[in-house]
Amino acid sequence: DFSDDEDGDHPPNGSAPGPSSEASAGGAVIRRDKDADSFTAKMYVSPLMYGFIIGKKGAALGETQRLTNTIIKVPRNDTKGKAGSDESQTIVIKGPDRASVTAAVVRIEAIVLDNRSKVGFTHFISIPIGKDSEVQARASAVISDMKAHLVSEARRIDPSIFQDPSWMHWTVLVLRLHTQQELDLAKRLL
């Protein structure tokens, strides 16, 4: 449903229009529609971000559509916050020209970036120090000493709150990987 770029509207990198007539804006690919005088972008966004993109009673989405002269279709969030396939997370943006669609993509990306910190961490990277026998022995001694001094009926401290030394680790990094694309990128980089 896309065709060659016939109006000479070139991709931002300055290359000549080709058979795919694609240009990208952030994570979205913008294409000229084959059967209409319009442009379409598809971008992958975690369902966790839909509420921020739509806004209270659709206000944020309506404002984005009005300011950019586009029609934006946000999929229903049937996943209840769980990452699904990229197709289930595709937002479709249609507009009369590439500039309008690009403006909508940029605005949605800004909303996502502004609100990422409001959505929890999904992964962490750690160094499993508890696997080292010397660390285990020292940690076991410290834990035993703490239990001897702290655990009692009067203090109401349950001994089960103390971690098994073999599970000890240093958390190096926490990540927010909300889409399969983000997870795949992290795997490639790590």
Longest dimension (CA), the chain: 81
Q: Is the pTM of this model over 0.85?
A: no
Asked whether residue 84 carries a pLDDT value surpassing 50, the answer given is: no
**Least trusted range by pLDDT, from 58-62, 83-87, 146-150, 161-165:** 83-87
Residue 126, H or E segment: strand 123-127
CA 38 to chain centre: 28
Asked whether residue 25 carries a pLDDT value surpassing 60, the answer given is: no
Q: Given CA atoms 51, 96, 6, 33 in this order, what sign does their dihedral have? A: positive
> Residue 125 in contact with residue 172, Cβ under 8 Å?
yes
Write down the mean pLDDT value for the chain.
81
What letter does residue 15 receive in the DSSP assignment? P
Asked whether residue 52 carries a pLDDT value surpassing 70, the answer given is: yes
How far is it, in rounded angstroms, from Cα 138 to Cα 133?
A: 9
Asked whether residue 23 carries a pLDDT value surpassing 70, the answer given is: no
